[in-house]
Amino acid sequence: MDTRHLETFLIAAKCENFRQAAREQGLSQPAVTQQIRTLEREFGFTLFRKSGRGIQLTEAGKILAQNAHMLLGELKKFQSTADLLRRNELGTIAIGYSTSLMSEDHLPRVLRQFAEAHPAIELTVSPMRVTDAIEALIDRKIDLAVVRAPLPSLPPVLDVHGFDRSNLVLAVPLGHPLVRGQHVDWQELAEVQMLSIRDSQGVGLREVTEKLLHQHGVKPTKMRLVADMTSLVGLVTANVGVAILPEAIARAHRGVTVLSIGSANYFIESVVVAHREIVTIPTKHLFARLVAAG
């Protein structure tokens, strides 16, 4: 059965006139009539009966018309799906990410742009610790990871590409004794309550914080590790301690004063980690966009 014949049948049913149906389709009236006769032979019953100068659906024709609408609708969906598959524009991508990256602009903007450019590709995003994201990549439970550096030792099957770099500042509570201007010296951090993320040793913000303190000869007498970035900022706001944070996150909270540290600028990197054997084309699309944005 030719679906074009079904479309002709539905137009004729709407117009109740073969001549008018022919005009709407840009066909001759004999061509329309021939298509209807072909359908009637295939189905084995009459679709129309004459009514004055026009035509009307038979009872069987009315039932067929109802089903034909549904059938053509499903066929259009089927064709659309096939087109998306042909262009590699259909699928699901699972992404693991460091939670705090969603509090900055870069990753949400790239994901939004990708979703707008590829609306049929579903993005499944899951917050993960760096070590958990690496394990999930190795086990193929996720397709990509966007996480804070530094990273633990990686197996050869994983590749790393730069993504973003965040300026680091000292976040202190409002009214804290360190707030005497816009700047604080490293040595002033030796006696205050320091806070950081409970990352695995050698990983993420904790590693960056400890390394910077060590490089400047600072041995904090008080260091408290907390579960996540939300808790960390909340404890700073609550005057529990001070923390080295990405500037965008620190400035997003009204209960926090932002101070520069030392005489230089300091940064924390974020990276895209992917399996060397990226399987799906949609994942390759997103991977390319993330790397290009770095």
Segment 104-159, tens digit of pLDDT: 999 999 999 888 888 888 889 999 999 999 999 999 999 899 999 999 999 999 99
Report d(CA 247, CA 249) in Å as an integer: 5
Cα 246 from Cα 242, distance rounded (Å): 13
CATH topology of domain 3-86: Arc Repressor Mutant, subunit A (1.10.10)
Mean pLDDT confidence for 5-27: 85
pLDDT for 194 equals 95
Range 220-256 burial, b when 16+ CB lie within 10 A, else e: beeeeebeebeebbebbeeebbbbbbbbebbeebeeb
Q: Once rounded to an integer, what is the mean pLDDT over residues 254-283? A: 88
pLDDT at 4 over 90: no
Type of residue found at 187: Q
Q: Is 294 helix (H, G, I), strand (E, B) or coil?
A: coil
Cβ atoms of 144 and 231 closer than 8 Å? no
In the chain, the amino acid numbered 259 is L
> Could you tell me where in the chain the CATH 3.40.190.290 domains are found?
167-268
- Measured over the CA atoms of residue 12, residue 13, residue 14 and residue 17, the dihedral's sign is positive
Measured CA to CA, the distance from residue 138 to residue 127 in angstroms comes to 17
Q: Are 290 and 144 in contact (CB under 8 A)?
A: yes
List every span in the chain annotated with CATH 1.10.10.10: 3-86
Give the confidence band of 92 by pLDDT, cuts at 50, 70, 90: confident
Interior CA angle at 200 toward 198 and 206, to 5°?
Answer: 55
**CATH topology (fold) of 91-163+270-293:** D-Maltodextrin-Binding Protein; domain 2 (3.40.190)
Average pLDDT over residues 16-20: 86
DSSP summary character for residue 158: E
Q: Stretch 21-47: mean pLDDT, rounded? A: 88
How would CATH label the architecture of 167-268?
3-Layer(aba) Sandwich (3.40)
What is the distance between the alpha carbons of residues 249 and 229, in angstroms, rounded to a whole number? 9
Q: If we measure between CA atoms, which residue out of 184, 188, 171 comes closest to residue 241?
A: 171
Task: State the amino acid at position 164 in one-letter form.
Answer: D
Q: What angle do CA 253, 254, 258 make, to 5 degrees?
A: 75
* Residue 187 in this model has a pLDDT that exceeds 70: yes
Helices (DSSP H) in 118-181: which residue ranges?
130-138
- From the list 199, 187, 192, the residue with the least C-alpha distance to 221 is 192
Q: Where in the chain are all domains bearing CATH 3.40.190.10?
A: 91-163+270-293
Q: Is the pLDDT of residue 1 over 70?
A: no
pLDDT for the residue 13 = 84
CA distance 184 to 190: 12
Return all residues near 15 (Cβ < 8 A) that are at least 6 apart.
Answer: 21, 24
Query: pLDDT band at 198, cuts 50/70/90?
Result: confident
- pLDDT the model gives residue 293: 72
Mean pLDDT, all residues of the chain? 88
Bridging pattern class, strands 91-97 and 193-197: unpaired
- Considering only CA atoms, which of 117, 131, 48, 121 is closest in space to residue 88? 121
222: part of which helix (H) or strand (E)? strand 222-226
Query: 277 versus 281: which is more confidently predicted?
Result: 277
d(CA 22, CA 32): 6
